[in-house]
Structure 1
Amino acid sequence: MLDLQGVELSAEERELLRHPAVGGVILFRRNFVAPEQLAALTKAIHDADERRLLIAVDQEGGRVQRFCEGLTRLPAAARFGALYAEDERAALGAARAVGWLMAAELRSVGVDFSFAPVLDVEQGLSRVIGDRAFATTPEAVSALATAWLEGVHSAGMAGCGKHFPGHGGVVADSHLELPEDHRPLRALEQHDLLPFRRLIAGGLEAVMPAHVRYAVIDPQPAGFSAFWLRELLRGRLRFEGVIISDDLNMGGAGVAGTPAARALAALQAGCDLALICNNREAAVAVLEAVVDWPMDESSVRLQRLRARPGLDINNAERRQAALSAIEQLSASSSV
């Protein structure tokens, strides 16, 4: 999965998307001006290749929302947690309503899925998670993320939980460096892994592993670790969905070598899709490195990430309920 440079598909990019190793496109703020323009861009991407490539975006809400103008400004996940502390039922209803709205708006402009929900548990440590996490306890994160995913599913969209097995217990930002978490597996199983376990049982379609090394468990960061991806995620948690690497251009991925080496290491560890952003030269090198990688099983899994047609994404009552929920979240205790 790779990125694009602007608001229209160039002739060079149109040709690049036909490469047999390309499985999808991730969009950023630079690719967006207005909903109508975005709809034209996603149509051009889908028309570029008969495989109808997957299209994704980070549309979590709060400080991680790529598309804003003409779409609803979504609250940060921690807002749901603040309301949950006051009124659990209202918070769960709000999470369900806003999850539906996010998915319905993205589907209306041709996007298949968002890289969400964040399933990390906020522990007052991470420089990069913070209010992107729903709450400070795994129980609250699990409940709110489950409700949010129910809303997403009701709009015909898949979910992608991140950052497995949990990014909340480290200070460093994996965009810049490789964080190390020194907790034993038992501690992670009793805390950070609980939301992943519950969401997987509830039908979560995709998981993104963290560029974090859990040093006393495995020397490889989770996204390059057969233990984390094959033994624990596939084996013990019985996850049958898609595993998508975090961006291989991030500083935390550098331990695996060149971009091509990183992609091969991620696939060998158990990822179905290698994500490479904001480095076109590296993306081309990755495509050439993985062009012969066997994808039969992964290709079947990837089909689950396509937006499902036929569901009502223009329901005025649901939209108003979601907007009312956002107002309620804004009025709840400050985060």
Structure 2
Amino acid sequence: MDGVSGAVMCDIAGTELNDEEREWLQDPALGGIILFARNLVSPAQMRALCNDIRAINDQLLIAIDQEGGRVQRLREGVTRLPPMAALGRFWQQDPEAAVVLAHDTGWLLATEMAACGVDFSFAPVLDLDDARCPAIGNRAFSSDPAAVVTLAGAFIDGLSEAGMAAVGKHFPGHGGVTLDSHLTLPEDDRSLAELRARDLVPFEQLAGRLSGIMPAHVRFTAVDTQPAGFSSRWLDMLRALPDFAGAIISDDLSMQGAHVAGDAAARARAALQAGCDLILMCNDAEAAAQARRVIDDSGTLPLQQKHLRRLQLAGTRPPLSKLTDDARLKDIRVRLQQLE
């Protein structure tokens, strides 16, 4: 794989490709596939599915949400990862050991997911857990920006060691609202100065080590009338983060927080015009088809392609069956179990 086709990432229905999917997988507007729990049975089945997708279109990125805790799409045959807040609590007790374990957790996640066939996971979460937002909660490492920078930075280094890109989310921070953007459009009335003092800190300090960043479906009313993912002002700020050269990837445009922009085609256009390189449209096959038609009409730019290529897995994909006796993997699993 030496490129990425288009700018839409969407999902498939089941554990195997159906005839209709085999046809639209060849659409040049398509840039990738995201896998959900309904698509996955085991590491071997997941790898076979990824191989089948690539046999049809080897330009596609394949992604997954495999954070740990409640957001872990593949659970059978791989490590049950704790929520990242468990690493944050460990950091309060033993900072040095927690940093080592955060690095090893990133390496383990990337090693397992690469073995199962994907290019990257949408991780790490860089939001702060202010005990307010049901969408974030223990998905976050901590409420302390310094702890998030330290632990997420180690986690990113672990991903990188295994050849996997890191995608930080949800810029400029989803933890300060009380509503879930899957269900509605949350609003945050803090000033830009207040956000820079807390929520933006992890993004600003880790941007140069991220291959992608996902903006939030949150409207920051003191900064812009548009939610961050549809705001050229916010995405211009994101693109200007120190040393950031990666992809801007929309959060799922089928979420209720994105519906403020209109129908599926309007949402796709709004995200692209604001500055997203890749748009997610999930759990709605017709909406995904509309988004692909938008890309067919507008095409993708060479700069977008350059950003998206940073998300490709670097290195080989040995099957997980060859790693069952890996001493490092076993040791990390033991240390993770001790967090619970």
TM-score range, shorter chain: over 0.9
The alpha-carbon deviation at position 280 of structure 1 amounts to 0.1
Distance of 1:233 and 1:212 partners within structure 2: 15
Matches within 5 A, 1:212-251: 212-230=218-236, 232-251=237-256
2:172 corresponds in structure 1 to 165
Q: Does 1:208 align with 2:218?
A: no
The structure 1 residue matched to 2:33, chosen from 25, 31, 36, is 25
Specify the SS of the correspondent of 1:195: helix
Residues 207 and 241 of structure 2 are in contact (CA less than 8 Å); yes or no, is this contact kept in structure 1?
no
2:149 corresponds in structure 1 to 142
Say if 1:137 and 1:310 are closer, same or farther in 2 by CA, change over 3 A. Answer: same
The structure 1 residue matched to 2:263, chosen from 258, 263, 286, is 258
1:306 corresponds in structure 2 to 312
Say if 1:216 and 1:160 are closer, same or farther in 2 by CA, change over 3 A. Answer: same
2:3 corresponds in structure 1 to none
The structure 1 residue matched to 2:93, chosen from 82, 86, 91, is 86
1:123 corresponds in structure 2 to 130
1:265-322 CA-to-partner distances (Å, cap 9, x unmatched) read 0010000001000000111011112212332211111111111115988481320231
Distance of 1:162 and 1:137 partners within structure 2: 16
1:42-92 CA-to-partner distances (Å, cap 9, x unmatched) read 0011111142x1000100000000000111100100000010111101111
The alpha-carbon deviation at position 329 of structure 1 amounts to 1.5
Distance of 2:300 and 2:212 partners within structure 1: 19
Residues 155 and 311 of structure 1 are in contact (CA less than 8 Å); yes or no, is this contact kept in structure 2?
no
1:333 corresponds in structure 2 to none
1:270 corresponds in structure 2 to 275
Specify the SS of the correspondent of 1:23: strand
1:178 corresponds in structure 2 to 185
The alpha-carbon deviation at position 11 of structure 1 amounts to 1.6
Specify the SS of the correspondent of 1:305: coil
2:55 corresponds in structure 1 to 47
Specify the SS of the correspondent of 2:310: helix
2:12 corresponds in structure 1 to 4
Distance of 1:116 and 1:165 partners within structure 2: 15
- TM normalised by structure 2 equals 0.94
The alpha-carbon deviation at position 236 of structure 1 amounts to 4.6
Q: Does 1:318 align with 2:324?
A: no
Distance of 2:146 and 2:246 partners within structure 1: 23
Amino acid at match of 2:246: G
Distance of 1:95 and 1:239 partners within structure 2: 22
Unaligned runs of 5+ in 2: 1-8
Specify the SS of the correspondent of 2:103: helix
Residues 204 and 241 of structure 2 are in contact (CA less than 8 Å); yes or no, is this contact kept in structure 1?
no
Amino acid at match of 2:141: F
1:160-196 CA-to-partner distances (Å, cap 9, x unmatched) read 0000000000000000100000000001111001111
Residues 66 and 72 of structure 2 are in contact (CA less than 8 Å); yes or no, is this contact kept in structure 1?
yes
Unaligned runs of 5+ in 1: 331-335
Amino acid at match of 1:318: R
Distance of 2:88 and 2:154 partners within structure 1: 12
Distance of 1:69 and 1:62 partners within structure 2: 14
Distance of 1:50 and 1:74 partners within structure 2: 30
The alpha-carbon deviation at position 324 of structure 1 amounts to 2.3
Give aligned pairs, total. Answer: 327
Amino acid at match of 2:281: I
Residues 7 and 30 of structure 1 are in contact (CA less than 8 Å); yes or no, is this contact kept in structure 2?
yes
- TM normalised by structure 1 equals 0.95
Distance of 1:125 and 1:186 partners within structure 2: 20
Residues 61 and 74 of structure 1 are in contact (CA less than 8 Å); yes or no, is this contact kept in structure 2?
yes
1:293 corresponds in structure 2 to 299
Amino acid at match of 2:305: S
The alpha-carbon deviation at position 237 of structure 1 amounts to 3.7
Say what the alpha-carbon RMSD is for the aligned residues. Answer: 1.4
Residues 230 and 270 of structure 2 are in contact (CA less than 8 Å); yes or no, is this contact kept in structure 1?
yes
The alpha-carbon deviation at position 325 of structure 1 amounts to 2.0
Specify the SS of the correspondent of 1:254: helix
Distance of 2:290 and 2:227 partners within structure 1: 22
Distance of 1:211 and 1:311 partners within structure 2: 34
1:9-28 CA-to-partner distances (Å, cap 9, x unmatched) read 11210111111100000000
2:22 corresponds in structure 1 to 14
